[in-house]
Amino acid sequence: MPLSDYAGRTPRGSGDDTPVRRVSRHRHWDLDGTARATCVACDAEIHLDERHVLATLEGDGPDHRRYLCDEACLAAWVGDART
């Protein structure tokens, strides 16, 4: 499924009830490589200078960003049964 197809969907069972505004493959360039986040789907630690998926929920600010390991975690997070 293209990442753009996730826009407008609401994650199920994750505590997030705000629709997804945008999803993109992402890399956070960090000179010292210390930027980390936790995947909202599987709770794995993500090194943000490595490829991952960034989902931005409706609204503004960093608290509307959700980091995911990859497209499989994204599909699990929104409850996409097609994966």
Q: What is the mean pLDDT of the chain?
A: 88
Contact 8, 24 (CB under 8 A): no
* Residue 7, domain extent: 3-78
> CA–CA separation, 79 vs 26, rounded Å?
21
DSSP character at residue 44 = -
Percent of the chain with pLDDT strictly greater than 90 = 67
Confidence at residue 23, expressed as pLDDT on a 0 to 100 scale: 96
Residue pLDDT, tens place only, 45-82 = 999 999 999 999 998 777 899 999 999 999 999 987 55
Is residue 46 within 8 A of residue 70, CB to CB? The reply is no
Q: Say how many domains are in the chain.
A: 1
Tokens of 21: 């505004």
pLDDT band at 31 (very low <50, low <70, confident <90, very high): confident
Q: Does some domain include residue 83?
A: no
Phi (first) and psi of residue 6, to 5 degrees: -80, -15
Whether 33 is covered by a domain: the verdict is yes
Structural domain contains residue 43: yes
